[in-house]
Amino acid sequence: MKNIVTSFSAAVCLTTALVFFGGCNSEKALARRVDSLHRKMITVDTHTDTAIQYLRGHSFDSLQVNFDKMAEGGLDAVFFAVYRGQGKRDDSTLVALANWTEDKLVRFGRFVDSVPEAERAWHPADVRRIKKEGKACAILALENGYMVGRDLANVERFYNLGARYITLSHNNNNDICDAAVREDNPKKGFSSEPEWHGLSPFGRQVVAEMNRLGMIVDISHTSDETVEDVLEISAAPIIASHSSARALCPHPRNLSDELIRKIAAKGGVIQATIYHGFVDKGDGTPLDVKLYCDHVEHIRDVAGVEHVGFGSDFDGGGGLEGINSAAEVKNVTRELMRRGWSDHDIELFWGGNILRVWEEVEAVAAKLASN
């Protein structure tokens, strides 16, 4: 009997050891696969508030995104947005705001130019070249079309300074369109009611001008009616630079399945965000990388894997357990691999889709210029 017990105990110990070491080997193999894929593919984050935080005086090294953290996490390219919250819309304010915006684009662009390990991208081909050269890639953008004011010439002005998308609104309506989130604030001229029921007449001109220039139209933060209008008139695919799935988190900033399908039908992409308020299901599900990937997979299931990507909102409130900075973005790749995603589909998610859209936007501009 003693021999039987001893043999049984030995067998249990051997099985436990095999499971443990097998698990360790499996995790090591997964880590190697993650690292290998990140070295090969192009990874893009389409929305951060890092630039404006830096320009407000925060140390670049202290932020959720910096070039060292990008290298650690295997993140190749980041859209650094200059952001301004909605304010007054009188003529003098808008003129001053446009000058403020130019100053911020110039200053952050000069900062990037001063860093040897980083380079600005002006076109999608630059992103591919900069990746091959082993440097961090920075792309400028604007969050809130409020900065355009009511002067259409500002669109080209900001494009020439490097801005490659404009988020048409932030919270509250502006002269371009209605926003998804609105508040009543008579002192600032804000109203919770729709002002334009979508795009304003000027907003339609702005979208057309962005198409002409080869500038990406971003509908994150805009109302459903605005999204519908943009889809109707834009000659190029559009993006949501940092929005998640309303079916999982019923926030007006997120996109309904119907709008997700419509954006995909026009070739666009939804860049799922890790801002906690836009992923929280409200049922106690941990706010972590797994929950984020639930949103990613929902968008994929609704629209197809060619129409989903990554837009963190780092340094603007973005961050979840397991993905709190650019240094941790490999955890998303690891979770998608655990869920059975192929390398090809992960490559589309991380950079293939947004680069395709950007290339198509530029192709539309070239076609319009030739007509």
Domain residue extents for the chain? 33-370
Closest CA to 196 of 182, 210, 178, 209: 178
**Given the structure tokens 């419509």, which residue do they identify?**
262
pLDDT of 185: 87
Per the DSSP assignment, residues forming a β-bridge with 217 are 166
The first and second tokens of residue 69, run together, are 């953290």
pLDDT of 19: 40
DSSP 77-124: EEEEEEE------SHHHHHHHHHHHHHHHHHHHHHHHT-TTEEE-SSH
Spatial separation of the C-alpha atoms in residues 268 and 237, rounded to whole Å: 5
The first and second tokens of residue 256, run together, are 């309904």
Per the DSSP assignment, residues forming a β-bridge with 218 are 167, 239
Spatial separation of the C-alpha atoms in residues 367 and 371, rounded to whole Å: 7
pLDDT of 164: 98
Count CB atoms within 10 A of the CB of residue 290. Answer: 16
Cα-based distances in Å from 302 to 48, 60, 196, 327: 25, 38, 29, 29
Residue-level pLDDT, tens digit, the chain, 371 residues: 444 434 444 444 444 443 444 556 798 999 999 999 999 999 999 999 999 999 999 999 999 999 999 999 999 999 999 999 999 999 999 999 999 999 999 999 999 999 999 999 999 999 999 999 999 999 999 999 999 999 999 999 999 999 999 999 999 999 999 999 999 988 788 899 999 999 999 999 999 999 999 999 999 999 999 999 999 999 999 999 999 999 999 999 999 999 999 999 999 999 999 999 999 999 999 999 999 999 999 999 999 999 999 999 999 999 999 999 999 999 999 999 999 999 999 999 999 999 999 999 999 999 999 98
Per the DSSP assignment, residues forming a β-bridge with 314 are 48
Closest CA to 45 of 370, 355, 367: 355
Q: Which helix (H) or strand (E) holds 191?
A: none
Residue 320, SS3 per DSSP: strand
Helices (H), 214-288: 224-233, 257-265
pLDDT of 266: 98
29 contact partners, CB below 8 Å, separation of at least 6: none
CATH for 33-370 (3.40.50.300, 3.20.20.140, 1.20.1250.20, 2.60.120.640): 3.20.20.140
How much is the CA Rg of the chain, to the nearest whole Å? 22
Helix 289-303 × helix 330-338 angle, to 10°: 60
Contact, 233 vs 286, CB < 8 A?
Answer: no
How far out from the chain centre does Cα 247 lie?
19
Residue 291 φ then ψ, to 5°: -65, -40
